């Protein structure tokens, strides 16, 4: 169990640090999408990028210099309060500034508004299938119960059982030690008794 606990800690520690960093940054600057050393995870809500990305997937993006982006790159960009992940199909201009025409792979038409450099959140790196649904579920009351309350209760129960087992093992160890001491003491007493009898016999023999 100790080895399992160490493995779980090693796996969960980076995730916990990432989440804490992202939460803190979101409170410090609520108007900006938080990142962890340039890494930004996003939950995909629709199937507009199928079959490359499915609704419910968690996409991982990396901040990038928009000037380095090119046609066919998949980017995540902010539009209003939402973040959209679509593919660049054309490099253009908007109000005299460089911009991108984007489109979902599964959509028949291009996105209505060009994406400016300021809107770009990052370039798509990889996805984790279905993890977005899990992340969304974890934000619900039921998800908090399943992923926070249940593990916490399980840990408390496990720790209680472990402590009681350790106490019982300690009692058994002390009992065994006491029994061994009693046995050795009894053997010593028996040896002393036999020695005394032998001395008594010797004294009687030699008169």
- Tens of pLDDT along 109-147? 999 999 999 999 999 999 988 776 666 666 667 766 666
C-alpha 174 chain-centroid distance: 40
Token readout for 101 is 């025409």
pLDDT in the model for residue 76: 95
Residue ranges, the chain, pLDDT below 50: none
pLDDT in the model for residue 61: 94
pLDDT in the model for residue 126: 92
- How far apart are the C-alpha atoms of 135 and 42, rounded to whole Å? 10
pLDDT in the model for residue 204: 64
Strand, helix or coil for residue 124: strand
Report the candidate in 28, 42, 130 with the shortest Cα–Cα distance to residue 79: 42
- How far apart are the C-alpha atoms of 58 and 133, rounded to whole Å? 8
Name the one residue in this structure whose structure tokens are 């649904």.
133
Cβ-in-10-Å burial (0-12, 13-18, 19+) of 117 comes to middle
- How far apart are the C-alpha atoms of 132 and 117, rounded to whole Å? 26
CA distances from 142 to 13, 23, 133, 189 (A): 24, 21, 13, 68
**Residues 22/30, Cβ–Cβ less than 8 Å:** no
pLDDT in the model for residue 43: 86
pLDDT in the model for residue 143: 65
pLDDT in the model for residue 68: 93
- How far apart are the C-alpha atoms of 125 and 88, rounded to whole Å? 14
């Amino acid at each position: 169990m100790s080895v399992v606990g160490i493995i779980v800690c090693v796996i969960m520690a980076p995730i916990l640090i990432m989440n804490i960093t992202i939460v803190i940054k979101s409170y410090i600057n609520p108007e900006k999408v938080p990142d962890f050393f340039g890494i930004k995870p996003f939950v995909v809500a629709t199937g507009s990028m199928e079959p490359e990305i499915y609704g419910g997937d968690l996409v991982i993006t990396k901040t990038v210099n928009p000037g380095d982006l090119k046609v066919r790159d998949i980017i995540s960009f902010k539009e209003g309060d939402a973040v959209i992940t679509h593919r660049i199909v054309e490099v253009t201009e908007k109000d005299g500034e460089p911009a991108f025409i984007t489109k979902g792979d599964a959509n028949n038409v291009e996105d209505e508004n060009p994406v400016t450099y300021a809107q770009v959140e990052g370039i798509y790196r990889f996805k984790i299938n279905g993890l977005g649904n899990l992340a969304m579920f974890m934000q619900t009351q039921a998800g908090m119960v399943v992923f926070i309350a249940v593990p916490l209760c399980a840990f408390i129960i496990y720790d209680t059982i472990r402590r009681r087992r350790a106490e019982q093992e300690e009692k058994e160890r002390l009992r065994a030690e006491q029994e061994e001491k009693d046995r050795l003491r009894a053997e010593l007493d028996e040896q002393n008794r036999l020695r005394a009898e032998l001395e008594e016999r010797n004294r009687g023999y030699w008169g």
